Amino acid sequence: MSGFKAREATLQNLFDSGDYDQFVIPHYQRSYVWGQDELENFWNDFIERKEVGQLYLLGSVIVSRTKQKRSFGVVDGQQRLITSSVFITALKDVWSEKFGRDEEYFSLERFIKKKVLGSNNAIFKIDVAGSLKQCYIDMIISGSIKKEYKNEDQKNLHRAYDYFKDKLRDSYDANKANDNQRKKLLLQKLENLLDTNLVLVILDDEDDAYEVFEGFNARGVDLSISDLFKNLFLQKIKGTEEEKARALEEWDNIIQIVTELRIPKFTINTFIRYYWIRNHSFIGERQLYKKIKKETKNYRELLSDMYQIAESLRVLFNGSPYEIRDFLGHPEAKAEYAKSISDSLRALRVMNTQSYMVWLMSIAAKRNKEFISLKMFARSLGQIERFSFRYFVVSKLPANRVEKMYAKFSNELFKLSDTRDKQRIATLLDKELLNRIEQDKLLPPREQFIADFGLLCLKSNNKNLVRYILTQIENQLSSGEKGVTQEVVTIEHIMPQRLNKGWNISQTDHKNCVNMLGNLTILKGALNSSASNKAINEKIRHFKDSDLKMNGDLVDLINKKSDWGKDEIIERQNAFAEASDGIWSVDKR
């Protein structure tokens, strides 16, 4: 790192000090996005200050030096700085509304013009860019925001301004004292905000921002690292304002797509890293920023390609089987292959793993039918689904080794770009993936899998995963004759989550066994709550009414044992484990 300085400061210091003429929020920073929740927290923590004597910390404001001596580019903290300006402006306007333009009002106005607006009306202390700029100017100078502003960031600014005006009016109305006391109340709120502590981090080089972000995040300060990547991509893209706006829109679309994928722990940072390591050397997130900056020559192409990959993921995860088939360039192929792809991706999503996304992003880049057949794609993805279940869900093994394996595989796949490589791609998908899993000794032995499965216990917040496992087992037990799907079943605890007098089991055994798979079943339609808590001799008739093979076997076991407790649950789970070895066999065709 070339260097940075971190110092304690207050918001007053930022506005007042001659060391800082201007804080510039670049056009490539995200727009003003704060809503009701953030504004309420800001009001309660920094303006209302209900806890007397508590240290109130606004967080870290990270800026980088610019060519102008006392001008700084804002890397992180723009939302808080803009919100502070909005509050001060709202206070001035409520003051005018309640007390008229008296001496204190003009003092406030002078403060805003000098400290918020800047040294003159042409230079803002906090300078925003893009579509927000004119809206911000109107608010600071005239205290009004035109209704015709349509952009979401402009609307958010308007809402923030109205929110603070309403809160200040409420404070005024709630205070039944004379005007002098009411003035003191409003001035105290301003003083509270200006006295709020923060950590000002000044970077000599914006390239070092990522490492600073990492350092603060390690200490529990949640900074928006993804904004740093956004800054890098969009700052480097040259062209007209329209072209830059289009790039910004692409970035925002990528963020939205990644969020809507709803893959646990798959953040925009993970997306960027996986995008990168699929055709570059394997690196961690910490080294990613400098690597991308060092090795990228055309940021416009990089962003566009990232968007295309994100869009491919959107269709694969959220599209119908027919949309998936058409998108992959196989409109004539059987829809069953596309449905298999959709089912496998849905299964992987509930397994709380994302390592396979490196592989999937490489496949998405070669979606043309000239490279990969739909059948081959579905078969290979099925292998990954079954491997992930054994490795992550059942044996709970670490992700880093698998991630490296997928990255190596993807690197080789990326290099195959000619239609003459079609056979090599087919071999990679059909045989090489399984070979590498075996060569790297990633697949837990059968004995370990069965033993781990016998101990598998899933909490109630994993309902989708439970449905997935039990429907797979049911379809295996019934030889797929009835083909039950996850959408039509509900989960039922055989021994209920809350015990009543009809159950003769210790609290310890109940706690250890209640969420084991052996104590869970599925039904087409839910039992009502009173039936769910019945003793097993009363509850069994509901299972007898079920046409699922799993429940027929359950009834036989209950009748055989004349009881339902720890031993019966373990016996049933062990039977599931034996069946599951075949269901989730990685080399199954």
pLDDT digits (tens, 9 = 90+) for 193-215: 988 999 898 888 766 665 666 55
Q: How far apart are CA 70 and CA 73, in angstroms?
A: 10
Q: How far apart are CA 89 and CA 140, in angstroms?
A: 6
Phi-psi region of 468 (alpha: psi -120 to 50; beta: other; left: phi over 0): alpha
In a domain, 512, yes or no: yes
pLDDT value at residue 73? 81
User: Is residue 13 within 8 Å of 197, Cβ to Cβ?
Assistant: no
User: For 80-94, 368-382, 501-515, which range has the lowest pLDDT when averaged over its residues?
Assistant: 368-382
In a domain, 589, yes or no: no
Residues 463 and 540 in one domain: yes
Average pLDDT score, the chain: 84
Handedness of CA 286, 288, 293, 295 (dihedral sign): positive
Residues 360 and 464 in one domain: no
Domain boundary among 195, 218, 241: 218
pLDDT value at residue 144? 64
Q: What confidence tier does 589 reach under pLDDT thresholds 50, 70, 90?
A: low
pLDDT value at residue 447? 94
pLDDT value at residue 213? 60
pLDDT value at residue 87? 92
Q: What confidence tier does 243 reach under pLDDT thresholds 50, 70, 90?
A: confident
Residues 168 and 234 in one domain: no
The predicted model gives 514-535 an average pLDDT of 81
Q: How far apart are CA 515 and CA 495, in angstroms?
A: 9
| pLDDT tens digits for range 447-473 | 999 999 999 998 777 899 999 999 999
Residues 93 and 157 in one domain: yes
- Residue 434's contacts (CB-CB under 8 Å, 6 or more residues apart) are 383, 586, 587
In a domain, 138, yes or no: yes
Residues 320 and 462 in one domain: no
In a domain, 450, yes or no: no
| pLDDT tens digits for range 489-516 | 889 999 998 887 778 888 999 999 999 9
pLDDT value at residue 119? 47
Asked if residue 221 has pLDDT above 50, the reply is no
Provide the angle, in degrees to the nearest 10, between the axes of the packed helices 225-236 and 299-318: 130
Q: Identify any residues that bridge with 62 across adjacent strands, giving them in sequence order.
A: 76, 201
Residues 310 and 242 in one domain: yes
In a domain, 257, yes or no: yes
| pLDDT tens digits for range 272-286 | 999 999 999 999 887
In a domain, 569, yes or no: yes
pLDDT value at residue 220? 45
Residues 292 and 431 in one domain: yes
Domain count, the chain: 3
Residues 549 and 484 in one domain: yes
Percent of all residues in the chain with a pLDDT value above 90, rounded to a whole number: 35
pLDDT value at residue 72? 86
Asked if residue 412 has pLDDT above 60, the reply is yes
- For residue 359, CA distances in Å to 29, 119, 179, 248, 381 come to 31, 55, 68, 27, 9
Residues 427 and 471 in one domain: no
pLDDT value at residue 69? 74
Q: How far apart are CA 376 and CA 374, in angstroms?
A: 5
Q: How far apart are CA 73 and CA 25, in angstroms?
A: 6
Phi-psi region of 329 (alpha: psi -120 to 50; beta: other; left: phi over 0): left
In a domain, 449, yes or no: no
pLDDT value at residue 445? 92
User: Is residue 327 within 8 Å of 364, Cβ to Cβ?
Assistant: no
Instruction: Find tokens 């790297």 and name the residue.
Output: 440
| pLDDT tens digits for range 43-73 | 988 898 766 566 778 888 888 887 777 788 8
Residues 356 and 490 in one domain: no
- Give 100 or 347, the one with higher predicted confidence: 347
pLDDT value at residue 358? 94
Residues 205 and 242 in one domain: no
Percent of all residues in the chain with a pLDDT value above 70, rounded to a whole number: 87
Domain boundary among 218, 239, 257: 218
pLDDT value at residue 405? 92
In a domain, 259, yes or no: yes
Residues 28 and 125 in one domain: yes
Instruction: Find tokens 């706690």 and name the residue.
Output: 511
Structural domain boundaries, residue 460: 455-583
Q: What angle do CA 551, 531, 554 make, to 5 degrees?
A: 15
pTM of the entire structure?
A: 0.72
Domain boundary among 218, 241, 275: 218
